[in-house]
Chains A and B, each alone.
Chain A
Amino acid sequence: MASSSSSGLTFKLHPLVIVNISDHYTRVKSQMNPPPPTSATSNSNNSNGGENNQSPPRVYGCVIGVQRGRTVEIFNSFELLYDPSTHSLDRSFLEKKQELYKKVFPNFYVLGWYSTGNDAEESDMHIHKALMDVNESPVYVLLNPAINHAQKDLPVTIYESELHVIDGIPQLIFVRSSYTIETVEAERISVDHVAHLKPSGGSAATQLAAQLTGIHSAIKMLNSRIRVLHQYLVGMQKGDLPCENALLRQVSSLLRRLPATESEKFQDDFLTEYNDTLLVTYLATFTNCSSTMNDLVDKFNTAYDRHSRRGGRTAFI
């Protein structure tokens, strides 16, 4: 059912959506499996609590965002009610919520829907079709909530629907699309903050350390990715791996983009910024110096106070 998409749309996903879906799922799951009460008779309750683990619930919701040309950017999401009898989403609820969100975020509109689970199912197509009258080509964001420590990739997939002719019948099927994670600076900082619990405050030294280690780990990632590419290319050269021209073209175009900017103007602007920062540093050091001098003079005056009755040198003992 899932092959790769050919619609040419690029998808950008914000981390807020991922955290939203995860929170929705965790909430519903914990309401279904209440934690064992901390009382004296907890032994029997504990075993009950363990048995109560039902299959993970499926949660449903709507994703909203902006579409500019060929780029679809998903900013936010909210929950929806699922009606198991009709296998569809509660329409009036969706419209009510949409109105509320429109008031606060007037630019966003419904882009699609989300759900949790392992893989896209047939029943999902039903919901997908229902949403098609809100947005003619909705997206389906699927989050796999199973915590698998072996996997290295985000368990989030984005599906689009495409009309394919199968056995002579045109049918809508889900096709997988690729996406990138897009973020604004503020979002990145708060995600960083919560994910890694960075040391907040503290002296200039700890702040510097935090900043530099952040950049350091990012560069380390870049390095490891480049190494992977490098090994692949070496293997291709030796003949161990089949030659893939498309990949070679991509790598060569990537390399040709370096150096990133090499104009005179860039160098000028860069050096101006550099100088500005150094100027600010100079001013700050100046202020620091004058403050210390002021303190020194005051202390001197207090120690060698000529106006005091004791007269002369009443040095600090």
Chain B
Amino acid sequence: MDSAVAQKTWELENNILAAEAPDPSSDSIFYYDEVAQAKFLKDKPWANDPHFFKRVKISALALLKMVVHARSGGTIEVMGLMQGKTDGDAIIVMDAFALPVEGTETRVNAQADAYEYMVDYSQTNKQAGRLENVVGWYHSHPGYGCWLSGIDVSTQMLNQQFQEPFLAVVIDPTRTVSAGKVDIGAFRTYPEGYKPPDDHTSEYQTIPLNKIEDFGVHCKQYYALNITYFKSSLDSHLLDLLWNKYWVNTLSSSPLLGNGDYVAGQISDLAEKLEQAENQLIHSRIGPLGTSRKKEESQLAKITRDSSKITVEQVHGLMSQVLKNILFNSVGQPKRNEQPVSDPMIEA
């Protein structure tokens, strides 16, 4: 009973709107209506509106599979396909599976035997009762954020010409583990030559220096979709019960240990950016006042935001270490004044 109270208090404190606990009737999302899907595919309402699809719903299973696969690749990019269906202006991802391809940045398309794999897999799946079609592909960007690189953009544009409806999802497993929350993005490209109506600003994320050019050149050619997650009633019931066994893992996780080199890489990248910003600042004093200054300011502000992000993650990791130390190590030692870890709470 204690755990139930703890969970409720936690949910209350975090303003978790009890997203209506999925009941058996809402499991209807799992039903694959062949007729309705075929009709939708024939109608092609997206052909006229490049911005047609606005939302993505990812099932618990698909998310779990994608994140685990992405993480298992380590620092190598991995890719796979997603299966699902569409629902009005939303693309629903029910499942995902991995593809046996070597991930290199220069690869444009999966090799021939990946296609064979895909066909084989889809066939066996249909036999086993999964009737959905492939609705997208996912790949990982270990350590450098969720966005589409130049190659990715051209691949996705090709996909959107011939395999509509198609979605591109990018996952960063390193940042996921480091930040403690899933780093994922869903994108669709605009067709060639289309100018997006409004200059929407996407959520800021740090991009390492060596990739920032690639990001900047292509960032206007695609747009991000809103991602929500869903799970079945059985899933949520099981996940609730899982917490009874899971709390051990939460307590024993040590994010600091796993991510040492990633953090070191981030800090050195930040140092380079700082040098760049410094050079720009020095040069701008000779140049005209006004607008050019704004650019460096935002550069320095960006650096500040990045540095505080790194710090916050580090401090979180340290906090759990200190807590564990207090819990498990200070038994039998004379009580001494344990200095509480002061969290600077840097506001960007």
Q: Which of A104, A198, A290 has the most CB of B within 10 A?
A: A104
Are B127 and A147 in touch, CB under 8 angstroms?
no
Q: Is B195 interfacial (CB 8 A cutoff)?
A: no
B177 proximity list for chain A (CB < 8 A): 185-186, 189
Are A191 and B246 in touch, CB under 8 angstroms?
yes
Q: Mark B108-136, 1 if CB is under 8 A from A, else 0.
A: 00000000010011001101111100000
In the complex, what residue of chain A is closest to B179 when comparing beta carbons?
A207
Give chain B nearest CB distance to A46 CB in angstroms: 11
Are B117 and A100 in touch, CB under 8 angstroms?
yes
Q: Is B82 interfacial (CB 8 A cutoff)?
A: no
- Main SS at interface, chain A: helix
Are A35 and B300 in touch, CB under 8 angstroms?
no
Task: Name A26's contact: one of B33, B232, B289 (CB within 8 Å).
Answer: B232
Task: Name A262's contact: one of B27, B120, B329 (CB within 8 Å).
Answer: B329
Q: A28-B129, A79-B129, A204-B347 are in contact. Are A152 and B241 (CB under 8 A)?
A: yes
Give chain B nearest CB distance to A200 CB in angstroms: 5
Q: Is A232 interfacial (CB 8 A cutoff)?
A: no
In the complex, what residue of chain A is closest to B99 when comparing beta carbons?
A104
Q: Is B70 interfacial (CB 8 A cutoff)?
A: yes
Tally of B interface residues using CB under 8 Å: 117
Are B238 and A19 in touch, CB under 8 angstroms?
yes
Q: A18-B238, A189-B180, A196-B16 are in contact. Are A259 and B328 (CB under 8 A)?
A: yes
Are A291 and B67 in touch, CB under 8 angstroms?
no
Q: Is B153 interfacial (CB 8 A cutoff)?
A: no
In the complex, what residue of chain A is closest to B227 when comparing beta carbons?
A200
Task: Name A193's contact: one of B99, B128, B181 (CB within 8 Å).
Answer: B181
Give chain A nearest CB distance to B93 CB in angstroms: 12
Q: Which of A25, A103, A285 has the most CB of B within 10 A?
A: A103
Q: Is A119 interfacial (CB 8 A cutoff)?
A: no
Are B293 and A298 in touch, CB under 8 angstroms?
yes
- Considering the complex, which residues of chain B in the window 278-305 have a beta carbon less than 8 Å from any beta carbon of chain A? 281, 289, 293, 297, 300-301, 303-304
Are B243 and A270 in touch, CB under 8 angstroms?
no
Q: Is B143 interfacial (CB 8 A cutoff)?
A: no
- A217 to B7: give the CA distance in the assembly, Å: 7
- Considering the complex, which residues of chain B in the window 216-252 have a beta carbon less than 8 Å from any beta carbon of chain A? 229, 231-251
Are A154 and B311 in touch, CB under 8 angstroms?
no
Q: Is B76 interfacial (CB 8 A cutoff)?
A: no
Q: Mark A160-203, 1 if CB is under 8 A from B, else 0.
A: 00000000000000000000110111111111111111111101
In the complex, what residue of chain B is closest to A80 when comparing beta carbons?
B128
- A62 to B127: give the CA distance in the assembly, Å: 15
Q: Which of B43-51, B58-66, B144-152 contacts A (4 or more CB under 8 A)?
A: B58-66
Give chain B nearest CB distance to A267 CB in angstroms: 9
Are B303 and A291 in touch, CB under 8 angstroms?
yes
A124 proximity list for chain B (CB < 8 A): none
- A303 to B63: give the CA distance in the assembly, Å: 52
Task: Name B329's contact: one of A23, A186, A190, A261 (CB within 8 Å).
Answer: A261
Q: Is A15 interfacial (CB 8 A cutoff)?
A: yes
Give chain A nearest CB distance to B290 CB in angstroms: 9
Give chain A nearest CB distance to B58 CB in angstroms: 9
Q: Is B197 interfacial (CB 8 A cutoff)?
A: no
- A208 to B63: give the CA distance in the assembly, Å: 24
Give chain B nearest CB distance to A192 CB in angstroms: 8
Are A185 and B253 in touch, CB under 8 angstroms?
yes
Q: Mark B250-264, 1 if CB is under 8 A from A, else 0.
A: 110101101000000
B343 proximity list for chain A (CB < 8 A): 208
Give chain B nearest CB distance to A35 CB in angstroms: 4
Binding site for A on B (CB under 8 A): 2-3, 6-7, 10-11, 13-16, 19, 25, 27-28, 30-33, 59-61, 63-65, 67-71, 95, 97-100, 117, 120-121, 124-125, 127-131, 173, 176-177, 179-182, 203, 229, 231-251, 253, 255-256, 258, 267, 274, 281, 289, 293, 297, 300-301, 303-304, 307-308, 310-312, 314-323, 325, 327-333, 343-348
Pairs A–B under 8 Å by Cβ, sample size 22? A16-B68, A19-B60, A19-B239, A104-B98, A152-B241, A154-B242, A180-B245, A181-B242, A187-B68, A188-B246, A190-B63, A194-B231, A194-B235, A199-B14, A209-B13, A214-B250, A221-B3, A221-B247, A259-B329, A259-B333, A277-B314, A287-B303
Binding site for B on A (CB under 8 A): 15-16, 18-20, 22-31, 34-35, 78-81, 93, 96-97, 100, 103-105, 145, 147, 149, 151-155, 180-181, 183-201, 203-205, 207-224, 258-262, 270, 273-274, 277, 280-281, 283-285, 287-288, 290-291, 294-295, 298, 301-302, 305
12 other A-B residue contacts (CB within 8 Å) besides A152-B241, A288-B307, A294-B281: A34-B31, A96-B120, A100-B124, A185-B177, A186-B177, A190-B176, A191-B242, A195-B243, A196-B10, A199-B14, A221-B2, A222-B251
Can you list the 5 inter-chain pairs with the closest CB atoms, starting with the nearest?
Answer: A186-B71, A35-B28, A195-B239, A79-B128, A221-B247
